[in-house]
Amino acid sequence: MQIILTNTGKRYNREWIFRHCNYTFTSGKSYAITGSNGSGKSTLLQVIAGATLHNEGTVEYNDGQRTTSNEQHYTNISIAAPYLELIEEMTAKEMLSFHSKFKPLIQSLSIEDMLKIVGLENAVNKQLRYFSSGMKQRLKLAQAFFSNAPVLLLDEPTTNLDADGITLYQSLISNYTKNKLVIISSNVKEEYDFCEEVIKISDYKSA
């Protein structure tokens, strides 16, 4: 799987968040998008995901057989981000089951196994409205890491996690990203210190 950005730019009103971005992301490698708060790294990740439209250039998704537009690629991408909402009336088990209707989960684990791995085995049937912020983040990570998708996008993945949660995140990276294309938006070194390539959003600032 490849994601190819060619002269890609995004602006809000008259301000360019980034511009002239040329980059190819390839399966089996991990990338970090870094920058200060408000610099646009999350916006770039959203453009890569197809969740936010770019204003110039192209974003292409090549699965090795064909190149698709951003209306067709969603099944290849899983994402976890602080701004993505969960359905609070559902339980943890119901949420993962509902998610699997749109994007298959890996078949080697049951939903109960997945929730146990992320430390939510005692909250399988608990409504998400009663989850702490850290528990919700663990569920978001489970939803992203255990999706059977070749691309994993993570935006500030340890948000709301304690020390045990950060250790869990590092374990998920080690055990469930083999052969995947991983892109992480972060300014926290511990979240991306394993990445092979680091992209500074400041390199794509242009008037």
- pLDDT value of residue 68: 62
Taking only the tens place, the pLDDT of each residue in 156-177 is 999 999 999 999 999 999 999 9
Taking only the tens place, the pLDDT of each residue in 51-86 is 999 999 999 998 876 666 555 677 889 999 999 999
Q: How many helices (H) and strands (E) does the chain have?
A: 6, 9
Three-class SS of residue 4? strand
125: how many CB neighbours lie within 10 A of its CB?
A: 9
Both tokens assigned to 99: 């998610």
Taking only the tens place, the pLDDT of each residue in 14-34 is 899 999 999 999 999 999 999
Residue ranges with strand state E in 40-161: 56-62, 67-68, 77-80, 151-155
Q: In what order do the strands lie in the sheet with 67-68?
A: 15-26, 2-12, 56-62, 67-68
- Whether the CB-CB separation of 168 and 175 falls below 8 Å is answered with no
Taking only the tens place, the pLDDT of each residue in 95-127 is 999 999 989 999 999 999 999 999 999 999 999
Least Cα distance to 152 among 111, 180, 191 occurs for 180
- pLDDT value of residue 69: 58
Does residue 207 carry a pLDDT above 80?
Answer: no
Strand partners, 115: none
Output helix, strand, coil percentages for the chain, rounded to the nearest 5: 35, 30, 40
**In what helix (H) or strand (E) does residue 30 lie, and over which residues does it extend?**
strand 30-34
Compute the Cα dihedral for 191, 193, 199, 200 and give only its sign.
positive
What residue type is 65 in one-letter code? Q
Q: Which of 49-53, 88-92, 143-147, 181-185 is predicted least confidently?
A: 49-53
d(C-alpha 107, C-alpha 123), whole Å? 22
Both tokens assigned to 164: 């045990």
Three-class SS of residue 95? helix
Q: In what order do the strands lie in the sheet with 197-200?
A: 77-80, 151-155, 181-185, 30-34, 197-200
The pTM (predicted TM-score) of the whole model is: 0.93
- Whether the CB-CB separation of 191 and 156 falls below 8 Å is answered with yes
